[in-house]
Structure 1
């Protein structure tokens, strides 16, 4: 496992959808149904024998030929996101507080699309295994347009946002292996009240080692 320092301004700043959402105010609503097949709520995690890495709000299952990386803010020292990186691509994971029985992904999806369009990119909807997704095409990298596949999964009082690059984004209908990686994730929300859209805290495990960004 590795962690990388990240400057305050990074690629994710262009598509951050969760800054201006309203405060959580629905404590009387019923809990959402547990997700079938994953990703899981930590309270409903099946006894599958997988020894997951505990990162606070995210529990990640190790996989062969894939590396777990943590993106750390240079200024604050806090862990901002989790990346699972393989030879053909990567997925970045972040979990956010959401209302009970709510559909935060439906709320933020048009916001993300609008922000990408304002930056000169395009955002098109694609029907995936968890419902509507976004295929984002933004900027030019190495002479090619960057393609990001963004998936939102609504859980009980949380939303998991998954950003795929590489094969999982470029061939969304042929990405069962990356989708299986997402299915193994478990989200630990906690019982305390939080503003809707606030990122769930990530923690760095003691075995993490630093790898400085190059360039």
Structure 2
């Protein structure tokens, strides 16, 4: 009797070991991890994100202090905002983040509901025009999308026509689907933003422009002024 029990215990341990060693099943679509095999498309290298680009796109970067923490893709009458964050290895954080976003929308005077989308559960919200960044007007539709990846979490926010029109949404959903997240190996706290960087060619142009400005500097000439808008 004890022999059979020991064998069952050993077999159970062996099965657990095999399950832990087995690779995770390959995903059929992105957003992708940089260590995964992913389709080759034209992307802008932003360091922590490889962002797909197509004709008609305008790309802007979100800056917090001196750090680049997100990117915005503008296309026709729609916008896609993407941010990548560190996440625990053992579990995702979209359930928690989704709850926080829903509470934030309600606090701002908007409404939201969960619904099934192309990337799983998402939040469909109606937010005040001011909170949506469009000035005065009626409440605006916004979609909050979250994807839990290996040690990272991607948050995508779709606004404009694509937030309420399926046909308009296809292009920006395609951007999310072809995104590549470059998490890196350094230790990071959960929800810590994965920092982005200017593309190499853009950095070179900025440095060249700064060097030219230094050469042309006239100490008696009034320089450019920057107005910070909050």
**Is contact 1:34-1:40 (8 Å) kept?**
no
TM-score between the two structures when normalised by the length of structure 2: 0.71
| Corresponding residue number in structure 2 for 1:39 | 31
What is the distance in 1 between the residues matched to 2:193 and 2:67?
12
**Is contact 1:168-1:178 (8 Å) kept?**
yes
Q: 4+ residue runs of structure 1 moved beyond 4 angstroms?
A: 29-34, 212-215
Question: Could you say which structure has the higher strand fraction?
Answer: 1
| Corresponding residue number in structure 1 for 2:12 | none
Superposition RMSD in Å: 2.5
Question: Could you say which structure has the higher helix fraction?
Answer: 2
Alignment partner for residue 104 of structure 2, among 104, 115, 128? 115
| Corresponding residue number in structure 2 for 1:135 | 124
| Structure 1 position 121, deviation (Å) | 1.1
1:181 aligns to 2:175 (yes or no)? yes
**Is contact 2:69-2:194 (8 Å) kept?**
no
**Is contact 2:59-2:74 (8 Å) kept?**
yes
| Corresponding residue number in structure 1 for 2:215 | none
What is the distance in 1 between the residues matched to 2:181 and 2:84?
7
Rg (Cα) greater in structure = 2
| Corresponding residue number in structure 2 for 1:8 | none
Count residues in correspondence. 183
CA 1:37–1:69 in structure 2 vs 1: closer, same or farther (change >3 Å)? Answer: same
**Is contact 1:96-1:196 (8 Å) kept?**
yes
> Which runs of 5 or more residues in structure 2 are unaligned?
1-19, 130-134, 207-225
**Is contact 1:45-1:186 (8 Å) kept?**
no
Higher relative contact order (Cα pairs below 8 Å, separated by 6+ residues): 1
1:202 aligns to 2:196 (yes or no)? yes
> Which runs of 5 or more residues in structure 1 are unaligned?
1-28
TM-score between the two structures when normalised by the length of structure 1: 0.76
